[in-house]
Chains A and B, each alone.
Chain A
Amino acid sequence: MRRRLALALMLCCIPVAPVLAQEKFPDRPITIVAPFPPGGVADLTARPVAAAMEKILKNPVVVVNKTGAAGAVGMSFVANSKPDGYTLLMALSSISIIPEADKLFDRKPAYTVDQLVPLALFSADPTILAVGANHPWKNVRDLVADAKKRPGAISYSSSGIYGTLHMAMEMFSHAAGIKLNHVPYGGAGPALTAVLGGHQDMLASGPAVLIPHIKAGKLRALAGWGAKRVAAMPDVPTFKELGYDIEFYIWAGAFAPKGTPEAIMKKLRETMKQVVQEPEFKDAMAKLETPIAYMDAPDFQKFYERDGKMLAEATRRIGRIEEPGK
């Protein structure tokens, strides 16, 4: 009997906990979910962020990798978790694509975009178009001219269908009015290997990944998707300079579930603002050769909406592929 009483008492305590938590946030470990495996961009950004947050909040912050279905598993996990500020998400650009792809296939969406609220943007790297060094194209004009002559003959590899690298190439080929042959691979690594091995002609990927191979003379960069040129590649033009109105970034930013109390959101945003000032965080990002592109929630929200709209359009343009290769 006494045991049962004790149990009943404990059960009574549970609903009280979140109420108390609002008064003093945080009082227990915060979890940042990285929806991709260890070693990926989301994971590698989340870990220094967590370390810096831990220092600022004097409270444990742990990174958990919840992977699966191109990130949908982790993202829907956070979208459907309790909005108390203790479960956060480190998402990449693909967060806007998955619900759109679900719509395309009439699937019950894993989560909707409005279930997650942006907190802070940490990095936004423009993708770079790189071709195998043995190809004759020296610039985008050569490439477009050749592609118009031989529609569908020039191929590119991507990290997967509807993946970020696919989106970037789709925007380019749409803007240039050319038809390229898309061969998806199971990740950005295999896609790069395919171009290095000469099996596909080109790919779009992040500068940090491409630079070593460009320096070694195996790849040639033709253009970048950023609004500005990439600092490490000052002689590679942007598509905007070349007259194509396209912009695309692989970005990483933190999100919280919708409905998180305003006070906690404020506290988290302030923490993130301090995070990007931490020397350890700056150092970690510099090692990854990823420039910090911090934005607070209001700016990030605008950026995120514009980016999401562009990606949604591209996704719809690609449409359902019933017969690949067409």
Chain B
Amino acid sequence: MLETLQNLYLGFTVALSPAVFLYAVIGCIIGTLVGVLPGVGPLAGISLLLPASFGMDATSAIVLLAGIYYGAMYGGSTTSILMRIPGEAASVMTCIDGYAMTRNGRAGPALAIAAVGSYIAGTVSVVALMLLAPPLANFALRFGPPEYCALLLLGLLALAYMSGGSILKALAMATLGLLFGMIGIDPMTGFFRFAYGVVELGDGIGVVPVAVGLFGLSEILLTAGEEAPPEVKKPRLADLLPSRQEWRDSVWPIGRGTVLGFLIGIVPGSAHIISSFVSYAVERRVSKHPERFGHGAIEGVAGPESANNSATSGAFVPMLALGVPSGPIPAVMLAALMVHGISPGPLLIQQQPQLFWGFIASMYVGNIVLLILNLPLVGVFVNILRVPYPYLYPAILIFCVLGVYAVNGSVVDVWIMIAMGALGYILRKLDFETAPIVLGVVLAPMLEMSFRQSLAMSSGDYTIFLSRPIATAMLAAGACLLLLSMLSLLRRGAGWRSALGLANVEKEDTHET
């Protein structure tokens, strides 16, 4: 313990040395700017700016990248809340209640809670990362294909809780999303599926254009044509900060989101995206007023934002402790280390203490810088809403195209966004929720791959899912969840029709007059 503190002191002397600190601040600012672009989240932000860091020394480069990474994450939630445009796949859930709050004139509190929640989750998860990394990393590596498959199934089951309207419709939309996720090269056999000669579809449909299309573009399509310009309550100065009640409502969601996100985050792979979906489902489940969700419940912003932030810190556990590229973001970070001649590996912490602890300390520093940077910016951002809509939406549209294009430099992605925008428009006219589609697109490739990898490992024996303790435990938990939700359906007895949500469709969105 004492040693840890000593090391942390070493880290802070690195992180707070003027040059390094400057890079942390620059990184945060760049990250916030890039993150505001729709679709450009932490991963795309770091990838785009990685080459710029090649000329620096290793510690500054890593600190700069960490700043960009945090900044992009904060920036992403801003557009989700103000314009219903997910900055990245993980902020899809923030869009729903965050934008509803904006519609109610509570944009300021939503932004503030997102910033504070991210800050708390970020800081707490860095403490956890620091203290628990070595033991947790070994546990995380025990996640093989069967465990992964079980975890993703569990994530899908959370969907049953997530939907505001009909469970049946939510399941249909998730299936549709999973089907979209089947497009591209089959990873197990190399067959091209449903690509119709478009080479760019080989890697499948990206989550970014789907999310931006289904959420951002469909919103513009629905609002821009209304006869009266959309009524957004102009925020007053007093409304910039959350009320006491809103603070109180956010405490537990932030706490739960932090723990949940960290645990999901340490699992190698891209599963950390589901943390915000799971957190939203949990908050809805434990809430005394689940009906408020979808109409501006602050818990629906606080939980997922915190989960999202701590999940991505959790993703660094295997990278820092074992030098394993355990997900897309750690992989890019490891590449940055290699460029500077540092071979990442299990010995990284011993061999490069100033780097490791400098990185940890700069994560603390970055979180504080962002909080200081973002809270005053809430006032600035909220004023964007004063721009008349006929000027605002063309600008949003341009940024959607720019962001979606920039991620892969691919026009095909822009076309996907357009198609998804049209689809989202129609679905929302017909009272379907679009979030499950995004979840489906995210999960499909991982779910299918881990399922088929498991079978390849066991030569087609399905008992592999039941002979490995972690996988079995998760499947059992999933089964329990399913049973519980069935029970509550049954208990409502004759109301099954309304439970399925078909008879009396609850309005999902506020713009239906």
Contact = CB atoms under 8 A, between A and B. Distances in A.
Query: CB atoms of A and B under 8 A apart anywhere in the complex?
Result: yes
A92 B203 CA distance: 18
A225 interface: no
A162 interface: yes
Contact of A69 (B142, B145, B202, B323): B202
B77 to A, nearest CB: 24
A39 B345 contact: no
Given A38-B51, A193-B324, A68 B142 contact: no
Interface in B445-502: 445, 449, 452-453, 455-457, 459-460
Interface in A41-82: 43-44, 47, 63-70, 72-73, 76
Interface in A181-222: 181-187, 189-190, 192-194, 196-200, 208, 211-213, 215-216, 218
User: Which of A152, A196, A200 has the most chain B CB atoms closer than 10 A to its own CB?
Assistant: A196
A170 to B, nearest CB: 13
Nearest to A40: B335
Interface of B: 47-48, 50-51, 54, 141-145, 184-185, 187-192, 197, 199-203, 268-269, 318, 322-326, 331-332, 334-336, 338-341, 343-348, 408-410, 445, 449, 452-453, 455-457, 459-460
Contacts of A149: none
A69 B452 CA distance: 20
Given A183-B145, A212-B345, 13 more contacts: A70-B185, A181-B459, A189-B325, A192-B324, A193-B325, A197-B268, A212-B346, A212-B347, A213-B323, A213-B345, A213-B346, A218-B346, A287-B340
Interface in A287-326: 287-289, 320-322, 324-325
Contacts of B460: 325
B149 to A, nearest CB: 12
A150 B200 CA distance: 41
Contacts, number: 162
Contacts of A2: none
A218 B190 CA distance: 31
14 contacts: A38-B51, A39-B50, A39-B335, A68-B408, A68-B410, A73-B199, A105-B192, A155-B457, A184-B187, A189-B324, A196-B141, A212-B343, A212-B347, A325-B460
Interface string A262-288: 000000000000000000000010111
Contacts of A325: 455-456, 459-460
Nearest to B47: A38
A298 to B, nearest CB: 31
Contact of B50 (A38, A161, A187, A284): A38
A193 B268 contact: yes
B335 A287 contact: no
A322 B190 CA distance: 10
Nearest to A69: B202
Interface residues of A, number: 63
A73 B197 CA distance: 12
Nearest to B331: A189
B271 to A, nearest CB: 12
User: Which of B143, B408, B409 has the most chain A CB atoms closer than 10 A to its own CB?
Assistant: B409
B345 A76 contact: no
Given A196-B324, A199-B144, A47 B188 contact: no
Nearest to B185: A69
Contacts of B324: 189, 192-193, 196
Nearest to B318: A193
Contacts of A218: 346
A199 B452 CA distance: 14
A110 interface: yes
Contacts of A43: 335
Contacts of A199: 144-145, 457
